[in-house]
A and B are shown apart, each in its own frame.
Chain A
């Protein structure tokens, strides 16, 4: 067993998980507090990636591009919330799914109008274009190491925010019992808009960091969105802790499954059968995992405490 390889794949799984977490955190907050299923969350991820790529081509500074993308997507998110989503809060989930699906179509086409249908290729900042020697024998791409650090930092930040600030208290209260919070005189509308904007910024952070790895194209949000929903279902709706746990689990299971399932299977059923079965099973793993969680613990691993 090549342990260095296992460690490296675990890092890859962690990096993927951290990306999922950035998306899942915003989505689960919105779902938990506003009871809103927002399929267009992936579109915010995409908008973040596009704005960062555009700003990078103007300023050649990754940092400036990142700030621009975050601010821009925050704005777009809040606009979408005020214009389109406010009417959806009272509606049932079916309506929300269908309406936000319409938003996906709109956003995908809108970016195609501005930037064209062909994918955009963007680069990592020069300073991070190399590798770091994490352990003797493990050369890990510096950029991906930074992604992991940023993701963990955001997780820490969110923890502090949710547990030790007044805003966080409102968020937790709203997730448990939103009517009570409104009755207590809190400006619910403003709270909702702030939460949504915050979620949009997180999605944008995921998008702008993903751009150099995945290429930037219309529809890039939908591919990751399904996996984000799997994360939320596994982790538990409305809980940031659940989003982090779910994200890391999904990231690890998916990456390690793709890496090691085929070689493991080929010792059991032979290499040519494993050639077909391995990748198939590896792709299906996270969905099987989700189905299992839904069967045995439908509220998820770390559900938000319901008041």
Chain B
């Protein structure tokens, strides 16, 4: 059931990511260390979105809101002198989970078009709230005073340490996702996506499972936000803008919806393409657009489906 080819592919991919710092050092291009760290942070966000979008069929256009909340949960305490990551990061996760609980509880009562609209509406509301708070930089945003401190154990100002922290978290999230998807929980979510009335007929309450998935996705999104603001050393409400949700969605689609590992590939492809192609032409998205349309129509498993083992039916 679990394809050997796929296990090898995933392992190879993760190994490659793990070796990036060494490669960047050898080539004397520290910029690529930064770039891949940024890619992995968005990969974490994309994986969390895939959980609800790819597996659960919940098209949330407001996922960037959780990244924003996570970012604020780090930057605001830092603004007031609280730099400990042990305070900031759990706060980021908790606040985003709470927000996801509130938003999900309301939104999941609707479906289809209304669900999309209402998740979008909530994200916009948070965005407008963010840009109106003058004390925290309003529309301009503000610099992060200092990267999250971990009491001397982990020094995030060291590029390599920070890289492996993000890498470790990505692997952990993937492992968590893998367990979830293969557990009964994951089965219920996926079944509800394909035929919700049937699930209810069997006796499940899809709402509770969907809400749980929504909260988990939101919490992981919050963690990604905390990492993002550490990466950029900047906080801006535009992290919550719905176009950022769109970017993450592109990574999920491109990588392969409902594949868990695909979004990582999608994040790598999207951001690398952006870096490489934008040196040649600014207009590379004119190809990306139709490519997405084709992927949605004919290649649901995206780039991941092209890899050895990726086309296998089971995740």
A156 close to chain B: CB less than 8 A: no
Tell me if A99 and B297 are in contact (CB < 8 A): yes
In the assembled complex, the CB of A196 is this many whole angstroms from the nearest CB of chain B, namely 17
Tell me if A222 and B292 are in contact (CB < 8 A): no
Cα distance A290–B115 in the bound complex, in angstroms: 12
Q: Which residues of chain A have C-beta atoms less than 8 A from B106's C-beta? A: 291, 295
Which residue in chain A gives the minimum CB-CB distance to B123? A287
B296 close to chain A: CB less than 8 A: yes
A291 and B121 in contact (CB under 8 A), knowing A95-B296, A102-B292?
A: yes
CB 8 Å contact bits of A273-307 with B (1 = contact, 0 = none): 00111011001100110110011001000000000
A287 and B132 in contact (CB under 8 A), knowing A93-B112, A294-B114?
A: no
Tell me if B253 and A98 are in contact (CB < 8 A): yes
Chain A contact residues: over half helix, strand or loop, or mixed? helix
Tell me if B132 and A280 are in contact (CB < 8 A): yes
Tell me if A101 and B286 are in contact (CB < 8 A): no
A189 close to chain B: CB less than 8 A: no
Please report which residues of chain B, range 73-124, place their CB below 8 angstroms from some CB of chain A when the two chains form the complex: 106, 110, 112-114, 116-118, 120-122, 124
Tell me if B113 and A93 are in contact (CB < 8 A): yes
A140 close to chain B: CB less than 8 A: no
A117 and B289 in contact (CB under 8 A), knowing A98-B249, A222-B243?
A: no
B129 close to chain A: CB less than 8 A: yes
Tell me if A102 and B124 are in contact (CB < 8 A): no
Cα distance A43–B291 in the bound complex, in angstroms: 17
In the assembled complex, the CB of B196 is this many whole angstroms from the nearest CB of chain A, namely 12
Cα distance A117–B112 in the bound complex, in angstroms: 34
> Which of the 9-residue segments A15-23, A104-112, A120-128, A242-250 touches chain B?
A104-112
Cα distance A95–B54 in the bound complex, in angstroms: 11
Cα distance A97–B120 in the bound complex, in angstroms: 13
Which residue in chain A gives the minimum CB-CB distance to B58? A94
Interface centre among A102, A117, A233, A287 (most CB of B within 10 A): A102
Which of A106, A279, A280 is in CB contact (< 8 Å) with B290? A106
In the assembled complex, the CB of B238 is this many whole angstroms from the nearest CB of chain A, namely 14
Please report which residues of chain A, range 178-217, place their CB below 8 angstroms from some CB of chain B when the two chains form the complex: none
Tell me if B289 and A287 are in contact (CB < 8 A): no
B288 close to chain A: CB less than 8 A: yes
Which of A102, A104, A117, A233 is in CB contact (< 8 Å) with B296? A102
Please report which residues of chain B, range 274-290, place their CB below 8 angstroms from some CB of chain A when the two chains form the complex: 282-286, 288-290
Which residue in chain A gives the minimum CB-CB distance to B61? A97
Cα distance A229–B134 in the bound complex, in angstroms: 29
Cα distance A42–B285 in the bound complex, in angstroms: 17
CB contacts between A and B, total, < 8 Å? 116
Which of B134, B246, B283, B293 is in CB contact (< 8 Å) with A99? B293
Tell me if B121 and A98 are in contact (CB < 8 A): no
B125 close to chain A: CB less than 8 A: yes
A30 close to chain B: CB less than 8 A: no
Which residue in chain B gives the minimum CB-CB distance to A91? B297
Tell me if B283 and A113 are in contact (CB < 8 A): yes
A87 close to chain B: CB less than 8 A: yes
Cα distance A100–B2 in the bound complex, in angstroms: 34
Q: Which residues of chain B have C-beta atoms less than 8 A from A94's C-beta? A: 57, 59
Please report which residues of chain A, range 222-236, place their CB below 8 angstroms from some CB of chain B when the two chains form the complex: 222, 226, 229-230, 233
B242 close to chain A: CB less than 8 A: yes
Tell me if B133 and A276 are in contact (CB < 8 A): yes
In the assembled complex, the CB of B155 is this many whole angstroms from the nearest CB of chain A, namely 37
Which residue in chain B gives the minimum CB-CB distance to A300? B114
B164 close to chain A: CB less than 8 A: no
Cα distance A143–B129 in the bound complex, in angstroms: 33
A237 close to chain B: CB less than 8 A: yes
B128 close to chain A: CB less than 8 A: yes
Which of A98, A113, A284 is in CB contact (< 8 Å) with B128? A284
Which residue in chain A gives the minimum CB-CB distance to B132? A280
A84 close to chain B: CB less than 8 A: yes
Q: Which residues of chain B have C-beta atoms less than 8 A from A93's C-beta? A: 59, 112-113, 116
Tell me if A283 and B118 are in contact (CB < 8 A): no
A97 and B125 in contact (CB under 8 A), knowing A102-B292, A102-B296, A106-B289?
A: no
In the assembled complex, the CB of B299 is this many whole angstroms from the nearest CB of chain A, namely 12
Which residue in chain B gives the minimum CB-CB distance to A110? B286
In the assembled complex, the CB of A218 is this many whole angstroms from the nearest CB of chain B, namely 10
In the assembled complex, the CB of B286 is this many whole angstroms from the nearest CB of chain A, namely 4
Cα distance A222–B288 in the bound complex, in angstroms: 18
Tell me if A290 and B113 are in contact (CB < 8 A): no
Which of B110, B116, B284, B285 is in CB contact (< 8 Å) with A298? B110
A98 and B120 in contact (CB under 8 A), knowing A37-B113, A93-B112?
A: no
Please report which residues of chain A, range 27-48, place their CB below 8 angstroms from some CB of chain B when the two chains form the complex: 31, 37
Q: Which residues of chain A have C-beta atoms less than 8 A from B133's C-beta? A: 276, 280
Cα distance A143–B248 in the bound complex, in angstroms: 40
Beyond contacts A109-B286, A284-B129, A298-B114: 20 other A-B pairs, Cβ-Cβ < 8 A, are A84-B293, A93-B112, A94-B57, A95-B297, A98-B249, A99-B293, A102-B291, A104-B289, A105-B286, A105-B288, A105-B289, A109-B283, A112-B283, A226-B124, A226-B242, A276-B134, A283-B132, A290-B118, A291-B106, A294-B118
What are 17 A-B pairs with beta-carbon distances under 8 A?
A93-B116, A94-B59, A99-B292, A99-B293, A102-B289, A102-B291, A105-B292, A106-B285, A106-B286, A106-B288, A109-B285, A109-B288, A112-B283, A113-B283, A280-B132, A280-B133, A283-B124
